[in-house]
Amino acid sequence: MSKKEQKKAKEPEYKLETVPMDPRFPNSNVTRHCWFSYVEFHRCQKSRGEGHESCAYFQKVFKTMCPNAWVEKWNEQLEAGVFPGRI
């Protein structure tokens, strides 16, 4: 095996994909979709338990669509017990 083939064999495979169209959010502004997915992910985890596979969709959506600064702020608010959404 050549060095190039060895290097390629060591590199992890990435699958790039986008979030599918959601008819509840037809406009290009994704703020509501981001917020909804974040809240639904945490509701799902609360009702079904952490790591449940059906919650993965909402996690994928909010991690794709939401700015990291928003997610960090919301996580801090959740930990402090002052998050404005109902989970």
Q: Is 66 left (phi over 0), alpha (psi -120 to 50) or beta?
A: beta
Asked if residue 7 belongs to a domain, the reply is: no
Is residue 23 one of the residues assigned to a domain?
no
Give 35-84 pLDDT, tens digit per residue: 999 999 999 999 998 888 889 999 999 998 899 999 999 999 999 999 99
Cα dihedral 25/29/35/40 (nearest 10): 20
Reported pTM: 0.72
The whole domain housing 71 covers: 29-87
Number of domains composing the chain = 1
Domain containing 60 — which CATH number?
Answer: 1.10.10.140
User: Does residue 15 belong to any structural domain of this protein?
Assistant: no
